[in-house]
Structure 1
Amino acid sequence: MPKRDPGHMNSQRERIILAAIACIARKGVEGTSMADIWKEAGLSAGALYVHFKNKEDLVTQCLRFELAPDRAPPATWDELKQRMLDFDARPGLDATIVTRARIHLRAACINPGELHDIMRGFLNGQIVDLTGWIQRLVREGIIALRMDAGQTAAAICAHVDGMLWMALATDRPLDQYLPEISAGLDQLITRP
């Protein structure tokens, strides 16, 4: 059997992950089948199994893809807020698909298991990163806090995810919620 070009294989793998994310956004994790994913990707079942052992493996990789690490630390409060509200950061997926998949994937992480462990590690890391960024903004005199930096970081995560859920649950376009999310984040700080 001829060897496949690594670039082609990586491209095909990402295509499968993007297809899985789109399916999860529509049907949830439990409602999505491998057949749904290979049809969405326009590939054969065999192509999926070259890259992923089973659905759990693929869902795990979707979660890792969705939780990919951010760029360099933000220099300002407005930059930090923009990063928290940047739902179009994934090429090939619109903001609504990314948000629906995000909510479904996070809900699937509630039960103990590999997905839960991945999410716990991500959330703990996100809180640590946000706390450090917030502390730096305070030290530089850019913002002042209404509560400690760790509590502020946790409140940021809870506020953003909660408002995203509200947007989806009430069928309001995400872009209508972005100013409200931003205004809510501003309530967590004061500007000296």
Structure 2
Amino acid sequence: MPKVTEEHRAARRRQIMRAAWVCFARNGFHATSMADVIGESGLSAGAVYGYFRNKEDLIQQAAEATVGSIGDPVARDLAALDPPDLGRAVVIAVEHATSFLVEEGFDKSPVAVQAFGEALRSPALLALVHGAHSAIRTELTSVARRAQQQGLLAADADPEHVGAAMFGLLPGLLIQRAILGVDTQDYCDGIRALVGLPAHPAPPA
């Protein structure tokens, strides 16, 4: 019997996870059954259960692959931002998170939004979401602090409060993408206008 390679296992795992994202985005976490995911994946039940124990495991992994993995890459980009432009910092966070959540034309924003709500009942998900968000919010606060030191933010402003307000624009976009179909570029142009930056140039045709 031929040996199953790590590449094959990784591809199967991605196939199942994508099926779960599709089902969760369509019907929500609780209305989706393992049978739904198995049917969407095109694999046998044994193949799916060979990678994921149950639906709770799938939900946790789906959340980790959406919300949970965003924090560190965004935080790195924000830490390298120079000069510490507040508007640009928010745009970086929003654009980076959105590009991460769109995979092969499939938008995982609805899954990310559900993960926020599910975190209110699941300690494991709460820890996951809290960790990812804390990394981004900490760096946004750092940008605000550096901006204040360079005279780009009012001296009496509290960088912690500014960082919290800046961070709020990120889940705000995800909710609006999932529910209202708001375009990320339009949203970023709105942020730029709000803070007095020029609109982002349109991409070449």
User: Partner of 1:89 in structure 2?
Assistant: 100
1:108 equivalent to 2:111? Answer no
Structure 2, unaligned stretches of length 5 or more? 197-205
- With over 3 angstroms needed to count, the CA separation of the structure-2 counterparts of 1:89 and 1:119, relative to structure 1, is closer
Deviations 1:57-101 (A, max 9, x none): 111111111121315333243265133233122563447x22211
Give the Cα separation in 2 of the matches to 1:126 and 1:82.
11
Classify 1:129/1:175 alpha carbon distance in 2 versus 1 (closer, same or farther; 3 Å).
closer
- The SS at the match of 1:104 is helix
Q: How does 1:1-192 map to 2 (within 5 A)?
A: 3-66=3-66, 67-68=68-69, 69-70=72-73, 72-74=76-78, 75-76=81-82, 77=85, 78=88, 80-86=90-96, 87-90=98-101, 92-94=103-105, 97-139=107-149, 141=150, 143-144=152-153, 147-184=157-194, 186=195
Give the partner amino acid of 2:73.
D
The aligned counterpart of 2:201 is: none
What RMSD in Å do the two structures reach over aligned CA positions? 2.9
How many Å apart are 1:108 and its aligned residue? 1.2
1:160 and 1:181 in contact (8 A); partners too: no
Residue 56 (structure 1) shift: 0.8
Q: Which of 1 and 2 has greater Rg?
A: 2
How many Å separate the matches in 1 of 2:129 and 2:110?
16
Unaligned 5+ segments in structure 1 are 188-192
Deviations 1:119-173 (A, max 9, x none): 223223332233234434544x384258322222221222232243234433445
Q: 1:183 to 1:106 in 2, by over 3 A?
A: farther
In 2, Cα distance between equivalents of 1:142 and 1:22 = 47
User: In 1, distance between residues paired with 2:115 and 2:48?
Assistant: 20
Structure 1 residue 9, shift from structure 2 partner: 0.8
Note if contact 1:19-1:37 (Cα within 8 Å) is conserved in structure 2: yes
> How far apart are 1:20 and its partner, in Å?
1.5
State the percentage of identical aligned residues. 24
1-structure distance, mates of 2:101, 2:8: 19
In structure 2, relative to structure 1, the CA distance for the partners of 1:171 and 1:121 (3 Å cut) is closer
TM-score, normalisation: structure 2: 0.73
